[in-house]
A and B are shown apart, each in its own frame.
Chain A
Amino acid sequence: MTDSPNPVLDSRMETAPREPAGAVTALTVNGLRYRWPGAPGDVLDIEALSVAAGEAVFVRGPSGCGKSTLLSLLAGVLVPDSGEVCALGQSWRALSPSGRDRHRADHLGYIFQQFNLLPYLSVLDNVRLPCRFSARRARQTPPGGAESLLARTGLAERHWRQPAGALSIGQQQRVAAARALIGTPELVIADEPTSALDEDLREGFMDLLLGVCADEGSALVFVSHDSRLAARFGRVIDLPSVNRAVQA
């Protein structure tokens, strides 16, 4: 059924995960359907999708296949027209808008492709930003937690107090990873975080992100059009394959 360009990946393409018993599933998607307001057809139609606690998942798909929409739905920023998306056992739909914002603040870290940081805040303040909006994450951050995360990124200490706008793009993406992971959120969503980086920086970034997620036990949903990165992940999902809306 799937027309995969890389047969080596086939064996790892599954939609159903194997998860340890007793852990809260990081993400569950059931019968998800979504269309943009005024659009003629669905942009997303996914029967079932799950991400186990602590699992790292690579979601592959070309541009325009609805990746960003899917991520907004997974993060609870959008609500599906029908079906359900549950993050950490909590259905997004069941929450009020402010409840969704709180749930997102407490349990989710997000990484954009670029421009992740507020340029007028210092690097340290950027890393600590989620703690301003979530008391839970602030509690889960030990004193000096931001500094130790930044140390893991390899960013020199002299940059830590500079405005974030002064860093190079490679440095900014590494800081973005630290910010997404402060306060040990259970779920990290990354939207093409390496697409703006060149090859040398890419490998270093992947090491950092996968390493810290594994250490903290955070689930990772990594979206990209670049299949070469899929090799580092235990599980790969081909979005066009699971999205019935794009299948003729």
Chain B
Amino acid sequence: MSALWSLALRSAWNRRFVLGLVTASIALSTLLLLGIERLRHDVRDTFAQAVSGTDLIVGARTGPVQLLLYSVFRIGNATNNIRWASAQALAQHRAVAWTVPISLGDSHRGFAVMGTTRDYFERFRHGDREALKLAQGRVFDGLFNAVLGAEVAHRLGYRLGDPIVLSHGDGAFEANDHDDKPFTVVGILAPTGTPVDRTVHIGLPSMEAIHLDWASGAHLPGQHVSAEDAAQHDLTPRTVTAVLVGLKNRAAVFGVQREVAAYRDEPLLAILPGVALDELWDVVGVGERGLLAMSALVSVVSLVGLVAVILAGLDQRRRELAILRAVGAGPRQVLLLLALEGALVTACGVALGVLAGAAVLALGAGWVQARFGIALGLYAPTVAEWQLIGALLGAGWLASLVPGWRAYRLSLVDGLSPRT
């Protein structure tokens, strides 16, 4: 057996140019297959880490996935806000331990601005019940204070004490800037790997203050409230976008959810973040499976290429096979030799693909994190990835039996007199 291994190695090395191309194609298809699986795994991981410790999220009655996406991930926009009275009623509910209202809609240079209470910084948990930590400074305590997420501070180069001007909506128009009421950076959060990093946090009163002379999304002409005067007004929020809810007893979660849905005064929706996330994956899962199926097909294509290349070269190698028969190799050993060759090429291709994947990760993970917020980890292959690798190697071995079989027949037929 070891004799055949070294023969297979030397023989394959002799044809290394063509086999090298096949190896490269197998490596690429491996990269694709494993890359998609790794991406799938990491995206789910990233999303699952984004919020924990929150029992319910309550917002206007849209859809569960939509509410989750805009309230936690800042993806998409709220169709409607909920009235402050409803938020109050929720806070006073007998089963509720704490609530944190949040208000979205403004932005700053591409980053979302969120109005919330000081409780947010204690109650909000992410990952494995980790609390938010301040890297520098303190939580907002004045009217025009802002606390920046780690990403915002890093990318825009803000330091404590810097001024920051917020924009209404997505900030596309300069006219929408709230430049008459600039904020000051008083705190910068430590990195969390969640959308918190990409958010500018201000107090709910502050959110109300900058919209005092705005209505229906535009600055009212002729009306102008200066920053100093703003403090004189009543800055209780009129509406909020959503409310994060923590219950005294987790078992009550479904009961509270039903009550929120049946609330008379306003159409509301309460979601369990985990359940909504699963719904999201159901939707996304279809696309994921399609992608995986396509990459599997690509792998099949590259293996077919391997088989074709070895088969095509077999005619040239009939003399080689006759020599082997003459020195005492049987047709079965000839079959084994060719199967070993194919398995070897597949193994090299897969190994190369795995290494290439690691290299791509090492180089590109930072960019993906900055651009999409998804944390791609450089860790050893997961169980699912090992299964894929095993399947690729097994398929390569099986595919190599095809030219192996042909060589078997050829060496039987040719014997010691090959027809060349």
A residues neighboring B (CB under 8 Å): 68, 71-72, 75, 77-78, 97-98, 100-102, 104-106, 108, 110, 112, 115-121, 129-130, 132-134, 179, 191
Contact = CB atoms under 8 A, between A and B. Distances in A.
B416 interface: yes
Given A77-B325, A101-B325, 12 more contacts: A77-B416, A97-B330, A101-B330, A110-B327, A110-B416, A115-B323, A118-B324, A119-B14, A132-B7, A134-B328, A179-B327, A191-B416
Nearest to A179: B327
Interface string B319-345: 110111111111111000000000000
Contacts of A100: 330
Nearest to B411: A77
A190 B417 CA distance: 13
A133 B3 contact: yes
B328 A71 contact: no
B11 interface: yes
Interface string B3-15: 1000100110110
13 contacts: A77-B416, A101-B328, A102-B330, A110-B327, A117-B323, A121-B7, A129-B327, A132-B327, A133-B327, A133-B328, A133-B329, A133-B333, A134-B328
Contacts of B7: 121, 132
B169 interface: no
A112 B322 contact: yes
Given A117-B323, A121-B10, A130 B417 contact: no
Interface of B: 3, 7, 10-11, 13-14, 319-320, 322-333, 415-417
B416 A97 contact: no
A217 to B, nearest CB: 20
Contacts of A121: 7, 10
B328 A120 contact: no
Nearest to A134: B328
Q: Which one of B325, B329, B416 has the greatest number of beta carbons of chain A within 10 Å?
A: B416
A125 to B, nearest CB: 8
Contacts of B326: 75, 110, 112
A109 B380 CA distance: 52
Given A110-B326, A115-B319, A120 B11 contact: yes
A172 to B, nearest CB: 12
B330 A98 contact: yes
B330 A130 contact: no
A101 B329 contact: yes
B416 A72 contact: yes
A36 to B, nearest CB: 11
A71 to B, nearest CB: 7
A120 B324 CA distance: 13
Given A101-B329, A119-B14, A132 B3 contact: yes
A103 B74 CA distance: 77
A77 B418 CA distance: 12
A164 B331 CA distance: 24
A105 B328 contact: yes
A186 B390 CA distance: 47
A110 B14 CA distance: 24
A101 B336 CA distance: 15
Given A68-B416, A121-B10, A133-B3, A106 B328 contact: yes
B14 to A, nearest CB: 4
Contact of B415 (A72, A97, A115): A72
Contacts of A72: 415-417
Contacts of B13: 120
B332 A98 contact: yes
A134 to B, nearest CB: 5
Given A77-B415, A130-B327, A118 B322 contact: no
B327 A105 contact: yes
A130 B323 CA distance: 10
Q: Which one of B326, B329, B417 has the greatest number of beta carbons of chain A within 10 Å?
A: B326
Nearest to B325: A77
Contacts of A129: 327
A108 B10 CA distance: 25
Contact of B416 (A71, A101, A105, A134): A71
B303 to A, nearest CB: 25
Contacts of B417: 68, 72
A77 B320 CA distance: 16
Which 8 residue pairs of A and B lie closest in terms of their CB atoms, listed nearest first? A105-B328, A101-B330, A120-B14, A133-B328, A132-B3, A110-B326, A77-B415, A68-B417
B379 to A, nearest CB: 40
Contacts of B331: 97
Contacts of B322: 112
A98 B328 CA distance: 10
Given A68-B417, A71-B416, A133-B3, A118 B320 contact: yes
A118 B323 contact: yes
A102 B327 CA distance: 10
Contacts of A118: 11, 320, 323-324
